[in-house]
Amino acid sequence: MAASKVVPLTCHGHSRPITHLSFSSIVDDDQYYLISACKDNNPMLRDGVTGDWIGTFIGHKGAVWQSRLSQAASLAVTGSADFTAKVWDTHTGQCLYTLQHNHIVRAVDFEPGIEAKLVATGGMEKKLRIWDLNHASGETNGASAEPESSLGVTNVSNWELGAGIHEGTIKSIIWGPDPNTLITAGDDKTVRWWDIRQKSQIAKHTLDGAFGSCELNRSLGSEQNTVLSVGAGKTVYAFSSTVPGQLISSQTIKRDIASVAINMAEGKFVVGGNSDTWVHVYSLENGEELSVHKGHHGPVWSVSFSPDGRLYASGSEDGTIKLWKYGNEAYGLWR
């Protein structure tokens, strides 16, 4: 299929490959935000509609693998190859908490709700940890030459959920919309659902190929159109966002999937991969490829729909983020 001539907005600023993109929920009327993780150690916050740079979070000493915003977009959490996750104030850029691990942190997320006080982390330790920001005390690491504002409190109460069950690196954690349910996925080719109250696994699904991505896709604010999208091997899975383990649909395509984002209201999904530098749009109903969009100059490692479903973002090996308008109506800077 010939590539469609669609003009995206290009967001520069990163100097190395983009590893993960995540939109906030809609806050302040129609406003929402986009946070990017990158191998240049410096996650960035942007206006989600225009892509305008707002700020850079400075403090990590290794590649940042995943970053997410709290529901109110007042906090950000990042997971890094420097064996830490950090929680940031998005208004000041200050690091509030440094969560120390024993290996690379690949996955992070906040609990749902306006007052997010719990953080989940996972990675190459193969451990799912829950951190309680309500129980944080102690001084910053005195051995470091960095200013206190870049380190944050280091002594935060935490516990492990499902000890010994993960058999590979945890590469994605999803928390919500049910605050009592956590979802993990990664190198053991298994999506797992966890009950926080029971502290146990309540469902799982074995994937057909190597894990690519796992994200919660909200579409036009409707709970009915909110699904969990998983890409593994050449297969796209759409799971219920409310019923643990319930598979709604799946489609197998002809290319390996690094990342997938689903727009349930439109019945379409977007795929990025390592086999080319294009963004591909497919029908969720029959797996037909509908369009192909050029623009990047490296593999596309992350794709994500905005919370209103009217644009999607792609992040590439080339260090750029692109925002693509979705649909025919005028929107944002595409007026």
Mean pLDDT over 199-224 rounds to: 86
> Is there a domain that residue 2 lies in?
no
Selected residue with higher pLDDT from 28 and 149: 28
Confidence bin at 144 (pLDDT 50/70/90): very low
Mean pLDDT for 275-302 is 94
Question: Does the structure show a pLDDT above 60 at 311?
Answer: yes
Q: What is the pLDDT of residue 14?
A: 97
pLDDT at 316: 97
Whether residue 283 is contained in a domain is answered as: yes
Indicate the average pLDDT of the chain.
91
Q: Does 4 map to a domain?
A: no
* Whether pLDDT at 138 is above 70: no
3 within some domain: no
304: number of Cβ within 10 Å: 26
For residue 262, being part of any structural domain is answered with: yes
Residue 220 has pLDDT above 60, yes or no: no
Q: Tell me if 46 is assigned to some domain.
A: yes
Percent of the chain scoring above 70 in pLDDT: 93
pLDDT band of 333, cuts 50, 70, 90:
confident
Average pLDDT over residues 220-247: 88
Q: State the CATH number of the domain containing residue 322.
A: 2.130.10.10
* Average confidence (pLDDT) over 17-36: 94
> What's the total number of domains in the chain?
1
Asked whether residue 56 is assigned to any structural domain, the reply reads yes
What is the pTM (predicted TM-score) of this model? 0.92
In a domain, residue 1? The reply is no
Q: What is the pLDDT of residue 314?
A: 97
pLDDT of residue 224: 67
**Whether residue 140 has pLDDT greater than 70:** no
Q: Residue 226 belongs to what domain range?
A: 9-334
The yes-or-no verdict on residue 4 having pLDDT over 80 is no
pLDDT for 223 equals 62
> Has residue 139 got a pLDDT over 60?
no
Mean per-residue pLDDT, 150-179:
89
pLDDT of residue 146 exceeding 80, the answer is no
Can you give the pLDDT at residue 154?
80
Most confident of 29-33, 62-66, 155-159, 330-334: 62-66
pLDDT class of 222 with cuts at 50, 70, 90: low
